[in-house]
Amino acid sequence: MFSKFDVIETIEMIEKEHLDIRTVTMGISLLPCIRATAGETSDAVYDRVMQKAERLVETAAELSSEYGIPIVNKRVSVTPVSLISAAFPSESGKIGAALDRAAKELGIDFLGGYSALVHKGTADYEKLFLSTIPEVLASTDRLCSSVNVGSSKSGINMDAVRTMGEIVLKTAQLTKDKDGLGCAKLVVFCNAVEDNPFMAGAFHGVGESDTVINVGVSGPGVVEHALKYIPDADLTDAAELIKRTAFKITRAGQLIAREAAKRLNARFGIVDLSLAPTPARGDSVAHILETLGLEVVGCHGTTAALAMLNDAVKKGGVMASSRVGGLSGAFIPVSEDIGMIESATAGQISIDKLEAMTCVCSVGLDMIAIPGDTPASTISAIIADEAAIGMVNNKTTAVRVIPAPGKKVGDEVSFGGLLGRAPVMPVHKGDASAFIRRGGLIPAPIHSFKN
């Protein structure tokens, strides 16, 4: 049983502190859609997604109304398209277009899975698939793409890293009229997870069952608010409070996930325990760190504060849910977090500090605008650094940078909505092209050999 104070606490969390279910994501296997030609496969893909996710938006609205908690995004993730189009890779764009059309007709926010897994090597069909990404992202609206270039077990595919630097740059150039928006829909991963409900990196892994529901919870505002009540507590007590708060948030996610899976005739996949910010005030991970005592996110101490936050969120969340997965931790996207935007605009946080922060939280360099004239080799080098952090530390890392066409340090890019806005941040000028040109595979670290 619960008390009247519990009822009021929940209502305050939802109405004043931005507690919401950030996303209900339906993972759909496309493996049964493979046909002899690109045209037939596209038709089968479209039909399957439309049929499986037909009631996704409606069901989310029902759940939101019954439980009184907002469900912000409704999304779909699919089997990496490079596997579905392997027999006709240069025509992969047809499948991308079919998926984008389905996403629009279903009324969902984003559909993820225009993806390839090339962490140990890039097959010929994957090379052709990768080359289609810029044009597909420029000609679609809701389709997201991700490429896994490394893993702790396999090492880092530096040929793919080199290619992805070029693809990120080309994607920005093809969407230059929208500040390089295409790059906001493209993530390069190391240790990508197969059940991530968050975009742009969601895809439905081949090890997953046919149709699953994965839910991402949110609530940085709830954690920030709770911490404001204990301004003088030591960090042990602060961690404990974050844990308790994460527990409550996750329980809401677990309830929605179970219920959504039941009503949509899908399996309950996982709850992703992430604290995902939005550009709205009161919904910021950066502000949690500042509430812990930092003058501004990015100053010395930020990495330690984030490490504590990330760990406490996981501990509270794991206790609350029978199935935990996805990225699970604190997100630090620059353009999607008002505290990050303000710190970056004031020059208080650098890419180097963000990179350090990615060593201790669940994601990577995310939604960072960099100068439009950044060479592809520098973007590849940024990807390589992040992938190395992920590979060595057995964690997921990602790069989602936007080389903003025609813009330089101090300018701003604006994508609107949840994608937010970001100042263009400086990158190091030193040339890494000779290193990137070497290609090959960075071998997996010795501690990955556990068998």
Partner 1 sequence: MRAVVTVTGSDKRGIIAKVSAFLFEHNINIEDVSQTILGDQFAMIMMVDMSESREAFASVAAALAQLGEKIGVTVRLQHADIFDAMHNV
**Contact residues for partner 1, defined by CB under 8 A:** 1-12, 62, 65-69, 248, 251-252, 254-255, 319
Strand partners, 366: 400
Contact 360, 314 (CB under 8 A): no
Angle 424-425-430 from CA coordinates, rounded to 5°: 125
Token pair in block for residue 94 = 């047809």
Nearer to partner 1 among residue 62 and residue 412 (C-beta): 62
Compute the least distance from the CB of residue 197 to partner 1, in Å. 19
Phi and psi angles of residue 401, each rounded to the nearest 5 degrees, phi first: -110, 155
Nearer to partner 1 among residue 21 and residue 349 (C-beta): 21
Is the backbone of residue 161 left (phi > 0), alpha (psi -120 to 50) or beta?
alpha
Nearer to partner 1 among residue 14 and residue 294 (C-beta): 14
Compute the least distance from the CB of residue 223 to partner 1, in Å. 14
Compute the least distance from the CB of residue 220 to partner 1, in Å. 17
Angle 215-41-27 from CA coordinates, rounded to 5°: 5
Nearer to partner 1 among residue 217 and residue 444 (C-beta): 217
Compute the least distance from the CB of residue 274 to partner 1, in Å. 18
- In this structure, the chain runs to a length of 451
Nearer to partner 1 among residue 4 and residue 300 (C-beta): 4
Nearer to partner 1 among residue 143 and residue 217 (C-beta): 217
Distance CA 368, CA 49 (A): 32
Compute the least distance from the CB of residue 68 to partner 1, in Å. 4
Sign of the dihedral through C-alpha 83, 89, 92, 95 = negative
Compute the least distance from the CB of residue 316 to partner 1, in Å. 11
To 10 degrees, the CA torsion angle through 110, 115, 119, 124?
A: -170
